[in-house]
Amino acid sequence: QQQVKQSPQSLIVQKGGISIINCAYENTAFDYFPWYQQFPGKGPALLIAIRPDVSEKKEGRFTISFNKSAKQFSLHIMDSQPGDSATYFCAASMRYNQGGKLIFGQGTELSVKP
C-alpha cells in the first residue's frame, strides 16, 4: 500500500528525443507527487511536483502527467539533452499523515546520447 513503483529501471534516449518515466501507487491518501533529479555523488534536487487536483503540470521541458483514476503519474522530458543524464526518482507523500514522509520509487537511470 505504501509502495511507489517506478519504471523503467534504465532508459536510453537520443538527444532531442522525449524521455518518459512512469510511476504507479496504491494508496489513494497520497496527495503530493514530486520528481527528483540526482547526479552521481550529489543529493536529489526537486524537479517538479504535482497535486492530484490537476492532471498536468509543465515547467520548461519537464511535464508531469497525472491520472488519478489509474493511480499513475509520469514525467516527460521534452527535447532531452545530454545534461539531463541522471537518475530520476518519483515520490509520494501525504500532507496530513506521517509528517510529510516521502515514499520513493526505485529510480530510473536516464542516459541521453548525443
- Residues contributing to the site for other proteins (CB under 8 A): 31-32, 34, 36, 41-46, 49, 89, 93, 95, 99-102, 104-107, 109
Least gap, CB of 1 to other proteins (angstroms): 14
Please report how close the Cβ of residue 18 comes to other proteins at its closest, in angstroms. Answer: 24
Backbone φ and ψ for 91, nearest 5 degrees, come out as: -155, 170
HEC assignment per residue over 86-108: EEEEEEEECCCCHHHCCEECCCE
Rounded to 5 degrees, φ, ψ at 103 are -105, 120
CB of 2 to other proteins, least distance (A): 11
CB nearer to other proteins: pick between 27 and 31: 31
Nearest distance from C-beta of residue 16 to other proteins, angstroms: 27
C-beta of 9 vs 69, nearer to other proteins? 9
Where helices occur in 1-113 by DSSP H, the ranges are: none
List, in sequence order, every residue forming a beta bridge with 52; answer none if it has no partner: none
Q: Which is closer to other proteins, CB of 43 or CB of 114?
A: 43
Distance (Å, rounded) from C-alpha 89 to C-alpha 28?
19
> What is the SS3 assignment for 40?
coil
Nearer residue to other proteins within complex by CB, 18 or 46 = 46
